[in-house]
Structure 1
């Protein structure tokens, strides 16, 4: 059983790394393409890649990953694409949270974990181009394994046709596995990406799922892969459509205010942010999602 899960861990970690490579290449190609023409005086953006490491509580190696960040591009004001594969033991607070969410009291006796995933957040130069988030991951303990993640669109100037196109691609990829997935995971995203203290959503939604363990590892992994595959065809056409749209200072003000909302959500409610900081991962990588500039009233 251990050897089988070691092989599955390797498959998942390799998949997330390959998805990272594909997205990084696509984003750099976008920086070179015709959608970047209005910013022709600015050099095409390129990712700066930094290796991240996580230390265990006793100071030993506990895995790590790659933090890839582009700043000040023609299309992207800031975008990060991180992958990580980490392991160790959950601290008492994380053990209690795991036991409460999954009913795993055994976590207190054997709190080992292993996790791998990809996390992406893009903040755009043009206020008409929507910001976006993507995350897919696998979490393993001696007591079980779970997949999770999702993607959601965060325009400051929403357009119905863009929202419909984004959701249409997600639905098509979900329907390959189960026609019940899209409505279920869309509703979950609407609930998860809600900002309670503002009484509103942080964007126009997408899909979100967590604690996915149907008992069929291959099927769950295949679905998680398709969530990742859906990202580029769902997002790139929107950027190519909007990146050349003229914008005003009022549009920029709306963008910065929306980023403030995004920052509030990530710092106060995002489960991945809390988990990363609580388990000792590189804080620069965990907080990669924060916008380069934001404003509040």
Structure 2
């Protein structure tokens, strides 16, 4: 019998001009054929993040922390490779990204933890799309913007451990900032205990900041992850 769960959690509370940061933690339990249980976890905390430099430093540090902890838990001796790219080699100010991937591990079949920090000018198509969602942006485009994000996806080798996806991001244009993010588990075989513990940790983090956050953000997620054609939620 093999069973287990993999959790990466953090507060990625979205707001028009504010972001709530709480505890970030990484949790893995694997039950092996010999019924030997191995429990490993990582915790990282962050305070309020203000300004471009602070947010960039935060996600770069978080990327390193997550990669180191996942590689240690995997136990295969493999590490996350590093591929740094420039958005425009002729213009360093355009931004950069760091792609990190681990493959063929003991527990992780393939996992990626990526960071991107870029800036540019909004195209008319992008500006129209954003303004149509109620944001105060010139639909003609042309406004400078900045964006930074950390995203990850971890595919476990065992089908009894759910795939995990998470991201945190900020987008700034015309003097306004939008913070957002999310985290979800996608199981092959649904384990109610996994789902309950996953939501319990998110609720605990959200409740530390405001009692309305968890029900509000959970409602958004339930709507976002619903698949009408299948009449079910993804993850």
- TM-score when scaled to structure 2? 0.74
User: Aligned-pair RMSD on alpha carbons?
Assistant: 1.7
Structure 1 residues 86, 198: CA separation in 2 closer, same or farther (over 3 Å shift)?
same
* Residue in 2 that maps onto 1:60: 91
* Residue in 2 that maps onto 1:12: 55
Normalized per residue, the structure richer in strand is 2
CA distance in 2, matches of 1:85, 1:122: 21
- Structure 1 stretches of 4+ with a deviation exceeding 6 A read none
CA distance in 2, matches of 1:11, 1:100: 30
- 1:1-297 mapped onto 2 (5 Å cutoff): 8-32=51-75, 43-55=76-88, 60-61=91-92, 62-106=94-138, 108=140, 110-203=142-235
Structure 1 residues 120, 109: CA separation in 2 closer, same or farther (over 3 Å shift)?
closer
CA drift at 1:109: 5.5
Q: How many residues align?
A: 185
CA drift at 1:18: 1.1
CA distance in 2, matches of 1:143, 1:123: 38
Normalized per residue, the structure richer in helix is 1
CA drift at 1:53: 2.0
Question: How big is each residue's C-alpha offset from its partner over 1:111-144, in whole Å with a ceiling of 9 and x where there is no partner?
Answer: 2110111000111100111111110011111241
* Residue in 2 that maps onto 1:284: none
SS at match of 2:149: strand
* Residue in 2 that maps onto 1:39: none
- TM-score when scaled to structure 1? 0.59
SS at match of 1:140: strand
* Residue in 1 that maps onto 2:23: none
SS at match of 2:133: helix
CA drift at 1:90: 1.7
Structure 1 residues 144, 198: CA separation in 2 closer, same or farther (over 3 Å shift)?
same
SS at match of 1:55: coil
**Contact 1:120/1:134, CA 8 A, preserved across alignment:** yes
CA drift at 1:167: 0.7
* Residue in 2 that maps onto 1:4: none
The answer for unaligned runs of 5 or more in structure 1 is: 1-6, 33-42, 204-297
SS at match of 2:115: strand
SS at match of 1:106: coil
